[in-house]
Amino acid sequence: MQRIRLRYTKRGRLRFTSHRDFQRAFERALRRAEVPMAYSAGFTPHPKVSYANAAPTGTGSEAEYLEIALSDRRDPEALRTVLDASMPEGLDLVDAVEARTTEFTERLQASTWQLALDGVAPAAAEQAVRGFLAADSVEVQRQTKKGLRTFDARAAVASLDLGQESEPPGLDGTADAPCAILRLVVRHVTPAVRPDDVLSGLRVAADLAPPVPATVTRLAQGPLDEESGTVTDPFAPDRDAPSGAEALGTPSVASAPGGAA
């Protein structure tokens, strides 16, 4: 059995895909692409797919991760290409590695988010960010399945700053075009602190209330380099590790994708 890890996106209008919707679409794509999946045992066998930390519905993402188990070996990159062609545009498979290490989900320590605040002037956003970062803790509330919960949104934030791409209000006085873009790095903690919680935090700590809902996109997910405050590629250890197949003296590509199975 071979395990392959894939990175996928939720782009454009398909960011409204819920995690369940994605799962259904992905399993159908596996069937169309005739991927030799390993199945779970039991009365109704399921293809073995595991997902990590799915971004909330309505949130875009460049860095979602899943892992599949195959009954037959495939070249990760070739498999990625076939699967990508089989998925709707916007749910794109963008990277693949063979799983050669354990504890992949533990490596997903933090996420980088981009928050586009339409109608918010960069200067106002910058001030709010300063206020938020200056606080030791920022209590926010969120409605969960178990009721209204109160928790701290500040501690989990590794960094928060104004992105380069922000657009100031038009010089010709058309003030309706400004858009502040924030870059946020959040540690994955329990209970999870989500980008909307940080936005609530900006309101609580610094009275920032964007006129329209923010467009939120996950840019990266992976190990947090505390020094630089950046999130690094979680596939790097798999790429660096020796291939299990090579170690056994067999070629790493045992069969061509789509070949006679």
Shortest spacing between CB 15 and other proteins, in angstroms: 9
Helices vs. strands in the chain: H and E counts, helices first: 7, 12
- Interface with other proteins, residue 58, by CB under 8 A: yes
Q: Which of 30, 115, 153, 158 binds other proteins (CB under 8 A)?
A: 30
Rounded distance between C-alpha atoms, residue 76 and residue 2, angstroms: 10
Q: Which of 36, 52, 57, 126 binds other proteins (CB under 8 A)?
A: 57
Contacts (CB under 8 A) with other proteins, residues 60-119? 86, 88-90
Q: How many CA atoms lie within 13 A of 180 on its CB side?
A: 24
Shortest spacing between CB 103 and other proteins, in angstroms: 31
Class of residue 52 by CB neighbours under 10 A (exposed 0-12, middle 13-18, buried 19+): middle
By beta-carbon proximity to other proteins, the closer residue of 88 and 168 is: 88
Shortest spacing between CB 62 and other proteins, in angstroms: 18
* Tokens representing residue 161 in the block: 């700053």
Distances (CA, A) of 103 to 12, 37, 115, 226: 31, 22, 29, 20
Shortest spacing between CB 187 and other proteins, in angstroms: 25
By beta-carbon proximity to other proteins, the closer residue of 98 and 197 is: 197
At 129 the three-state DSSP class reads helix
Rounded distance between C-alpha atoms, residue 7 and residue 214, angstroms: 24
By beta-carbon proximity to other proteins, the closer residue of 24 and 239 is: 24
For tokens 């398909």, what's the residue? Answer: 14
What is the total residue count of the chain? 261
- Interface with other proteins, residue 261, by CB under 8 A: no
- Interface with other proteins, residue 177, by CB under 8 A: no
- Interface with other proteins, residue 45, by CB under 8 A: yes
Instruction: List contacts with other proteins (CB under 8 A).
Output: 13-14, 16-18, 20-22, 24-25, 27-32, 43-45, 57-58, 86, 88-90, 212-213, 258
